[in-house]
Amino acid sequence: MSASAVPPAASSATPSAALPAPRPAAAREPGEPLFRVRGLTKRYGEHVVLDHVDFDVGRGECLVVLGRSGTGKSVTLRQLNGLDKPDEGSVVFDGIEITRLSEEELYPLRRRIAMLFQSGALFDSMTVFDNVAFPLREQRSLGEAEIAAKVREKLEMVRLRDAGPKMPADLSGGMRKRAALARSLALDPEVMLYDEPTTGLDPVTSATIARLIHRVQNALGVTSVVITHDIPLARLVGDRVAFLSSTRSRFTFTGTWEEAEASDDRELADFLAAREEADVVA
């Protein structure tokens, strides 16, 4: 993969004066959401993918977004770090309206909001070590010894301690996904966005990735949003679940798993039943 295929890493040299400073923790209301999304609308031509979507993501929680293929789950995720812009609506992150920011103004926020892409998006021409070190070197604030220590820490966290010298092509699909996660964690983000983290993996490897995401969530206390079709993953990591309807292009349910199972939303019930039956067959 070429470097140009990966979204630009944040740079410490990027001006951030235009951004409001995050409020001190003491000034935040208990339970105040980290993300507030209101009226989010996205169209591609005449096709409405998201139709006035509203939701919050609480600090330190893991919100799992479920829905059928093509319903706009990944489109929703990309609004949360400014990779995509809505046609209408508001996305507020920690008091900052990000839909109005330029690419330059978004760089500092992307240090705080990391994303694990469905493909992993590793640089094929770099070793695993250099892939994880890449965002750290872009910051130009750490020496090589500090970078090396940080890379070892993140590789250890995803249980790839000895993989540093290897090339991505030498790794299994699950190992590549873990290496990409280590790179996402390199800058110690406050938020992790996961786009179908177990797609293309066998059930055993998918379960390993699910446990790893759960462990990272508990160990680091990050806020997470997970887009997935993988019900076992969703049940393990999700504090709350949001269901994106294929017929209404918005969330028709948001709540706990217990509330999801008791919901009279027929589309949600059919989705959960079909997926769980598929898991049993697999």
- Going from N- to C-terminal start, the domains of the chain cover 33-281
Separation of alpha carbons 170 and 37, rounded Å: 41
pLDDT tens track for 12-71: 333 333 333 443 433 344 457 999 999 999 999 888 999 999 999 999 999 999 998 878
Could you tell me the two tokens for 54? 């509203």
Residue-averaged pLDDT of the chain: 84
Task: Give the residue among 267, 191, 203, 268 at the shortest CA–CA distance from 232.
Answer: 203
pLDDT of residue 3: 39
For residue 57, what is the enclosing H or E element?
strand 47-58
Distance of alpha carbon 164 from the chain centroid:
24
274 against 203, higher pLDDT: 203
- Domain 33-281: CATH architecture, name and number where available: 3-Layer(aba) Sandwich (3.40)
The CA distances from residue 40 to 48, 54, 60, 86, 182, in Å, are: 11, 7, 23, 6, 31
pLDDT above 90: residue 242: yes
